[in-house]
Amino acid sequence: MKEEVVTVENLRKSYETYLRRGLFARERKIVEALKGVSFRIYRGEVFGLLGPNGAGKTTTVKILSTLLLPDSGVATVLGYDVVKEAVEVRRRIGVSLTVEKGFFWKLTGRENLMYFGMLYGLDGPELKQRVQRMLELVGLEELGSSDKLYEEYSLGMKARLSIARALLTDPELLILDEPTLGLDPPSARLLRELLIRVAHEEGKTVLITTHNMFEAEIVCDRLAIINKGTIVAMDTVDGLKRLVSEDITLEMLVVLPAKVSLKQLREEISEVVSGRVEVDPTEEGTRIRVVMKPSEKEQATQEMLRKLHSMGCSVRRIEVKEPTLEDVFIELTGGK
Amino acid sequence: MGLWTLLKSGLILDIYFFKNNRAQLVSMFAWPYILLVLMLGMGFLFGSAETFKSNVGVEADPVVFFVASTLIAMASMSVMWEVGGTVLFHRWTGTLPYMLIAPYRISVTLVMSYIPRYLLWSFMQLAEFVPVLIWREGLVGGLADALVMGLAIVIGMLPLLGFAAIFGSFLLTIKEETNVLSWLNPIVLILSGAFYPAYLFPLWARFLSMILPTTYTFELARISSLLGAPKLAEMTFLIAVLLGMSIFYNALSFTLMGKAEKKALKSGAV
Ligand SMILES: Nc1ncnc2c1ncn2[C@@H]1O[C@H](COP(=O)(O)OP(=O)(O)O)[C@@H](O)[C@H]1O
Ligand SMILES: [Mg+2]
């Protein structure tokens, strides 16, 4: 039985905002940020909340971090209600919101961590060691930046420090809101590697939000796609891809010897795969497209290659076309 | 245990700040004297020590009187700014959410992490004035004055923490970053009789003056400047008033802060 670390049940949240209409007049406007969101996160998994801007990711994250009260619905972290037992929840989570701020500019990275460590109840040699370990873990020590002022940090360093603070109290659940937002690709990659390492080595349960599908695909074990305050799909990355299409398309470019006709080729290949087979002549050579089930992918591919080889065909190019998370996303959110 | 580290966190934050901003440290030390010279200068501009005595209406040493006023003015402004305004400061630096997820009630975090800084800086400023006090009143008299002022700093802090937290809770609930403290602070100082004696005020202002804790803190500190009069009874009275106000304002602020916290967490102001 998998242990539930986060349980979210039918969460709703609206914000009240005012639009300025002239100098004094203003118009009340209600924004429905969450329209009944439910999901569960199990111990040890990296769970992603993927959605475009304004989908309700930060709202969900803030509710789980006890920084925002829901209008209705229930959210618990390790069995504690985020509204009624907020202090118990706070003791067990590590949070990183916007990574570009949230620290004191005139303090070094280490001093910032020392301060927040104390604020969160750590003290003495334990605090010192923990701060040192986290600085090493997130790579700030290696960069020689632990004792530099925060105001001199690059965005990548700020993001790392934010992860370090979230890990400071050795929490059971990490809540990270768009931790790579705004980072240049190399920094983002380093941070993703760091997150994967932390999740596995430290055995953390992680909730991470992102609008980046590529990131969701490589970091998350399981994903919920959220759009306009509603979860539209939830599964593993592979499971989500199957939502769009179960099938895999294999595309090959081959050069046929003169004695083999196109018809012959199609018949030979159809013997080893169950799906549709298309054979078209192109300028570069003959293009073969085969649709197959994920389960037969490996075996069918091997047998096809063997067949082509025995017929004397030379293979120029081979490409597997799996549906991407992007396909899933576009299909589910109605194209955007 | 937890509260102790919370207190310490406030202290360490200050030490780091000043370690990295030496220039600010220097101006911090110079500030009390600048203010004192200014106040004294203005005082003497309007006449001799004799006219001062008749103006203020008490038999007091003007220098000691102004030292006490300066000290309390700085201390109470600091409480108002830093407990009340800390919400703004943290919102501005983006540290507010990370303060709020400390495992305590918000009001406890804001007030507790501030106390050590208040005591540290107020006593440092007092220590700066000790030579002046000794110059005016001699060794024993000067130290006794310092003792009374120190007492006023500590006891005066208690009701003011609650009083300032009320404004902090108000600032927590509004999303906009208007700082009511910038105009509220001078008004509080004037009404507490920091610049003019309260009996010169119109009736409504005298009433406001009576319910402000700072009024009594100023009184308490200024007792040290009185010449020769028996002070013990009056001191006990003022201390009792301040302690009573501590209970009142802190209870009020605890309730209001709880409400404000709810409201802020509901509206998404954090
Ligand atoms: N404090 C707030 N006040 C008013 N509206 C808000 C507030 N925070 C978020 N919203 C609105 O709620 C919706 C969801 O926002 P958010 O949860 O921040 O989305 P995401 O993090 O997925 O981009 C958006 O339409 C946003 O404009
Ligand atoms: Mg967001």
- CATH code where residue A235 lies: 3.40.50.300
Domain locations in chain B as residue ranges? 3-267
Say if B175 is an interface residue toward chain A (CB within 8 Å). Answer: no
Based on the domain organization, do A150 and A84 belong to the same domain?
yes
Say if B18 is an interface residue toward chain A (CB within 8 Å). Answer: no
pLDDT at B227: 65
**A336: in domain:** no
Mean pLDDT rounded to a whole number for chain A: 90
Distance between CA A261 and CA A152 in Å, rounded? 68
Q: Ligand 1 within 6 A of A57 CB?
A: yes
Q: What is the mean pLDDT of residues B228-233?
A: 68
Based on the domain organization, do A43 and A9 belong to the same domain?
yes
Which residue has better confidence, A170 or B78? A170
* Range from A30-44, A144-158, B255-269 carrying the lowest mean pLDDT: B255-269
pLDDT at A97: 94
Based on the domain organization, do A225 and A262 belong to the same domain?
no
Based on the domain organization, do A269 and A237 belong to the same domain?
no
Residue B155 structure tokens: 């006891």
* Range from A32-36, A111-115, B167-171 carrying the lowest mean pLDDT: B167-171
Which residue has better confidence, B221 or A89? A89
Per the structure, the count of domains in chain A is 2
pLDDT at A1: 64
Position A335 pLDDT exceeds 70? no
Instruction: Identify the band that residue B54 occupies on the pLDDT scale cut at 50, 70 and 90.
Output: low
Distance between CA B91 and CA A251 in Å, rounded? 55
Q: What is the mean pLDDT of residues B19-30?
A: 81
Distance between CA A131 and CA A170 in Å, rounded? 11
Determine how many CB atoms are found less than 10 A away from the CB of residue A23. 6
End-to-end CA distance of chain A: 38
Position A294 pLDDT exceeds 50? yes
Based on the domain organization, do A237 and A88 belong to the same domain?
yes
Based on the domain organization, do A87 and A232 belong to the same domain?
yes
Which residue has better confidence, B61 or A120? A120
Based on the domain organization, do A147 and A251 belong to the same domain?
no
Say if B3 is an interface residue toward chain A (CB within 8 Å). Answer: no
b/e per residue, B21-30, with b = 16+ CB within 10 A? eeeeeeeeee
Give nearest CA residue, ligand 1 atom 4: A15
Distance between CA B214 and CA B225 in Å, rounded? 17
pLDDT at A319: 86
Parent domain of A42: 4-243
Q: Is B233 exposed, middle or buried (0-12, 13-18, 19+ CB in 10 A)?
A: exposed
Which residue has better confidence, A143 or B65? A143
**A313: in domain:** yes
- pLDDT tens, residue by residue, B98-153: 998 998 887 788 788 888 888 888 888 888 888 888 888 888 888 888 888 888 88
Based on the domain organization, do A202 and A291 belong to the same domain?
no
Say if B104 is an interface residue toward chain A (CB within 8 Å). Answer: yes
Mean pLDDT rounded to a whole number for chain B: 81
Phi/psi zone of residue A304: left (φ > 0), alpha (ψ -120 to 50 degrees), beta?
A: alpha
- CA distance readout (Å), B90 to A303, B33, B46, B77, B97: 65, 30, 43, 18, 8
Which residue has better confidence, A292 or B54? A292
Based on the domain organization, do A292 and A215 belong to the same domain?
no
**A309: in domain:** yes
Instruction: Identify the band that residue A336 occupies on the pLDDT scale cut at 50, 70 and 90.
Output: very low
Question: What's A2's DSSP letter?
Answer: P
**A147: in domain:** yes
Q: What is the mean pLDDT of residues A319-336?
A: 75
Boundary of a domain, candidates A194, A225, A243: A243
Ligand 1 pocket: which of A11, A12, A13, A15 to mutate (most atoms within 8 A of CB):
A15
Cross-chain CB nearest to A107 (options B16, B102, B266): B16
Smallest CA–CA separation between B14 and chain A, in Å? 10
Q: What is the mean pLDDT of residues A141-150?
A: 94
Q: What is the mean pLDDT of residues B81-103?
A: 86
Please indicate whether, in this complex, the C-beta atoms of A115 and B12 are within 8 angstroms of each other.
yes
How many percent of chain A have pLDDT more than 70? 99
Residue B153 structure tokens: 């700093």
Boundary of a domain, candidates A208, A243, A278: A243
Based on the domain organization, do A189 and A306 belong to the same domain?
no
Residue B3 structure tokens: 């509260």
Based on the domain organization, do A89 and A164 belong to the same domain?
yes
Chain B residues with CB under 8 Å of A123 CB are 5, 8
Closest CA to A87 of B127, B208, B134, B109: B109
CB A139 within 8 A of CB A190: yes
Based on the domain organization, do A81 and A16 belong to the same domain?
yes
pLDDT at B53: 62
pLDDT at A90: 95
**A328: in domain:** no
